[in-house]
Amino acid sequence: MSEDLEFAFALVLNGASIGLMYSLIALGFVLVYKATDAINFAQGEFVMLAGLIVAVVLGFEGAPLVAAIAIVVIVMVGFGFGLERVVLRPLLGRPVVAVIMATIGLAAMLRGLGPVIFGSETRAVSLPIGDEPIVLGPASLPPIQVLGAVVAVLLFLAFSWFFKKSRMGVAMRAVADNQQVAQAMGINVERYFALAWAMAGVVSALGGVVWGSMLGVDVHLALVGLKVFPVVILGGLDSIGGALVGGLIIGIVESLAAGYLDPYVGGGTKDFAPYVLMILVLMVRPYGIFGKRKIERV
Amino acid sequence: MFHREAGIFKTTYAADAALYPLPIAKWTIAALALIFVVLIPLTVHEYYLSILNLIFIAIVGALGLNILVGYTGQISIGHAAFMSVGAYTAANLAVKLGLPFWITLPAGGLMAAAIGVVVGMPSLRIKGLYLAIATLAGQLIIEWTINRVPAISGGAQASIEVDRPSLFGFSFNTQGSLYFFLLFFAVLAIVATLNLARSRIGRAFVAVRDQDIAAEIIGINIYRYKLLAFAISSFYAGVCGVLYTYYFGIANYEQFQLIVSIDYLAMIIIGGLGSVLGSIFGAIFVTLLPIVIRLFMEDVGSLFFTQAEMANVISGLRLGVFGGLIIFFLIVEPEGLNRLWRNVRSYFRVWPFSY
């Protein structure tokens, strides 16, 4: 393989693994949107909160990792339930802009109060996977990225099974499809709304562990949430598979942009390229690759 | 405020839409003018004048955002970026070409309006969530561009220093003189918005917000009015950015980051969507809140936090309280402080016959 190709291969591989980690976060957004039509602008802050909790628990002497992960999942599920009950339910039936602004408010609140309560220093989340890079042909990946990608794929498989086969998953799809009909069939719609937020909590908890371990936990961890929007717009807002594919594409695009364009413009294309791609998608195909074409024409 | 309205009958539409709905309104305005133009500058200490100045600038920005979000029902998370467009346009014109403020200020506004229309273009095809995300993309892309292109940002630290505005040789270089400079533009923005809201355009905006399909059926060209809303709103934002630039004497992208967009959203939600008075209340509230938090934390917070942590704690608390208030007002009182004020007023207006 020539050197150019090797460079490209390394960029693609690196981008793909980061991209899968993006889809991990985007999954939380999609789950909520699919079931409840609510838009969560605080997804990145959920991840930050989860990361903070893990880091704080691990900060105690001798706390095992398993316990930390169990605690963060439980706390985030509780947080999801509580959030739905206190904030989202009173906003049912209000214009979509109200829900957007409420989650923006929530994002500001978490981002502001998180450091006040837990302290603003950067904490480490160390996972027992070492930092010896894993070599794949000409490229090498840090183990945390591989772990993140694996977690994302596993969650994707789990949720695919859940929605296709399990009773709750089918009920949830019914709720997403038509709330009134679902209610008429004896499905407790409000409970499934709460469940969707709890599932977003679970996804964010795992996202917080993985991303927190990669970047370190402080208020800047919430910025990964900004990558959620290109991913979900590209993949389709209500498609779990779309989150995965969208994440892959965004990850690869940003990695290639950083590799080839950064030398010319002095860095920073990584944060810029996904949004340019997203605007193009919005113009051409606003419902994304796999999304339902139910977008309201103005 | 606590006046009776007996004997006032409106017999024409013009009377109903008048700027001063009641004769007493003129006296109220005159009294307010006396207080703000004569009394306050003569009596108030410079520090408090500087707070008032910040409030005046915030009022301009909040009014602009309210035209878009409150009146027209389109959302924008990119307003801070429009402010930065105005700020850098004016700063570049003022420094490189040496133009006076009465050219740079409208130029900054117009430039922001042009960019705002481009960012608002997706609103023709998409709405709600998609528009929110498109404006978010606008914010990030504008921020990135300003930061990376030295021709715009003036190179080092992406900041440009600007001389204070001057008119006929008089330079507005103290808080006291800037007070009049900013008061003028705040009042101009308030009057312009009041007039806009009661005109054909303002009513069309409200129609688009309430039911866009119905609005189209009664003959409102919603494409045109949505873009117009974006243009007017970003014009205000641009002017607000220029005012910040002249007030601080420097244009710096850090004043116009995403977080500022959220501050302004907080202003109009807390103050009241779709109301001029609400924008003013919101601007006052959001400007004063951090100051109150700082005073409070200096007294109480020193028990819990060290001096070094204090700066972080204060900025965190500020953001957290804004977020909490946004949620609180959205759930409990969607019409904001303006509604609370109206409740108080109507209680006294009909007192003692409250039924």
Per the listing, tokens 């009241």 go with B272
* Strand stretches in B89-211, DSSP E: 159-161, 166-167, 170-171
Q: Residue A139: what are its φ and ψ, rounded to 5°?
A: -110, 160
Nearest residue on chain B to A98, alpha-carbon basis: B330
Q: Does position A221 have pLDDT exceeding 90, yes or no? A: no
Percentage of residues of chain B with pLDDT beyond 70: 90
* Contact call for B323 and A111, based on CB within 8 A: yes
Token pair in block for residue B272: 């009241």
Q: Cα–Cα distances in Å, from B128 out to A32, A99, B247, B268, B298? A: 16, 10, 35, 18, 41
Q: What amino acid is encoded at A111 in this protein? A: R
Least Cα separation, residue A280 to chain B (angstroms): 10
* Range in A58-67, A156-165, B84-93, B297-306 with the lowest mean pLDDT: B297-306
Confidence of residue B5 (pLDDT cuts 50, 70, 90): low
Angle between helices B79-96 and B46-66 (to 10 degrees): 120
Structure letter (DSSP) for residue B126? -
Confidence of residue B63 (pLDDT cuts 50, 70, 90): very high
Nearest residue on chain B to A283, alpha-carbon basis: B122
Minimal Cβ distance to A108: which of B123, B140, B319: B319
Return d(Cα A27, Cα A152) in angstroms, integer: 9
* Contact call for A298 and B129, based on CB within 8 A: no
**Average pLDDT for residues A24-36, to the nearest whole number?**
87
* Contact call for A102 and B122, based on CB within 8 A: no
Domains detected in chain A: 3-117+142-284 (1.10.3470)
| Residues 257-276, chain B, touching A (beta carbon < 8 A) | 259, 262, 265-266, 269
* Contact call for B331 and A102, based on CB within 8 A: yes
Q: End-to-end CA distance of chain B: give it in Å, rounded.
A: 19
Q: Does position A296 have pLDDT exceeding 60, yes or no? A: no
What is chain B's mean pLDDT, rounded?
83
**Average pLDDT for residues A97-111, to the nearest whole number?**
87
Report which of residues B29 and B282 the model is more confident about: B282
* Range in A94-103, A143-152, B125-134 with the lowest mean pLDDT: B125-134
Confidence of residue A106 (pLDDT cuts 50, 70, 90): very high
**Average pLDDT for residues B223-251, to the nearest whole number?**
89
Query: What is the SS3 string spanning chain A?
Result: CCHHHHHHHHHHHHHHHHHHHHHHHHHHHHHHHHHHCCCCCCHHHHHHHHHHHHHHHHHCCCCCHHHHHHHHHHHHHHHHHHHHHHHHHHHCCCCHHHHHHHHHHHHHHHHHHHHHHHCCCCECCCCCCCCCCEEECCEEECHHHHHHHHHHHHHHHHHHHHHHHCHHHHHHHHHHHCHHHHHHCCCCHHHHHHHHHHHHHHHHHHHHHHHHHHHCECHHHHHHHHHHHHHHHHHCCCCHHHHHHHHHHHHHHHHHHHHHCHHHHCCCHHHHHHHHHHHHHHHHCCCCCCCCCCCCCC
What is chain A's mean pLDDT, rounded?
84
Identify whether the C-beta of residue B120 lies closer than 8 Å to the C-beta of residue B137. no
| Residues 316-335, chain B, touching A (beta carbon < 8 A) | 316-327, 330-331, 334
What sign does the CA torsion over B333, B334, B340, B345 have? negative
Q: Does position B203 have pLDDT exceeding 60, yes or no? A: yes
Q: Does position A239 have pLDDT exceeding 60, yes or no? A: yes
* Contact call for B319 and A101, based on CB within 8 A: no
Q: What is the pLDDT of residue B308?
A: 67
* Contact call for A115 and B318, based on CB within 8 A: no
Per the listing, tokens 């009664």 go with B218
Q: What is the pLDDT of residue B1?
A: 46
Percentage of residues of chain B with pLDDT beyond 90: 14
Q: Residue B266: what are its φ and ψ, rounded to 5°?
A: -60, -40
Return d(Cα B89, Cα B151) in angstroms, integer: 11
Reported pTM: 0.85
Calculate the CA dihedral of residues B117, B118, B121, B123 and round it to 10 degrees.
-70
Report which of residues B162 and A19 the model is more confident about: A19
**Average pLDDT for residues B66-75, to the nearest whole number?**
88
Please give the ipTM for the structure prediction.
0.84
> Does the beta carbon of B99 lie under 8 angstroms from any beta carbon of chain A?
no
* Range in A1-10, A48-57, A221-230, B194-203 with the lowest mean pLDDT: A1-10
Q: Does position B9 have pLDDT exceeding 80, yes or no? A: no
Return d(Cα A230, Cα A4) in angstroms, integer: 28
Q: What is the pLDDT of residue B173?
A: 73
Distance of CA B32 to the CA centre of its chain: 20
Query: Bridge partners of B167?
Result: B170
Calculate the CA dihedral of residues A101, B61, B258, B275 and round it to 10 degrees.
0
Q: What is the pLDDT of residue A56?
A: 86
pLDDT in tens, B115-164: 988 888 877 766 667 788 888 888 888 888 887 777 776 666 667 777 77
Q: What is the pLDDT of residue B110?
A: 92
Who contacts B194 (Cβ-Cβ below 8 Å, separation ≥6)?
A: B19, B276
> Does the beta carbon of B125 lie under 8 angstroms from any beta carbon of chain A?
yes
Q: Does position A297 have pLDDT exceeding 60, yes or no? A: no
Identify whether the C-beta of residue A135 lies closer than 8 Å to the C-beta of residue A14. no
Q: What is the pLDDT of residue B240?
A: 92
Q: Does position A298 have pLDDT exceeding 50, yes or no? A: no
pLDDT in tens, B21-34: 677 777 888 888 88
Q: Which of B295, A118, B276, B320 lies closest to B328, judged by CA?
A: B320
Most confident of A142-146, B173-177, B279-283: B279-283
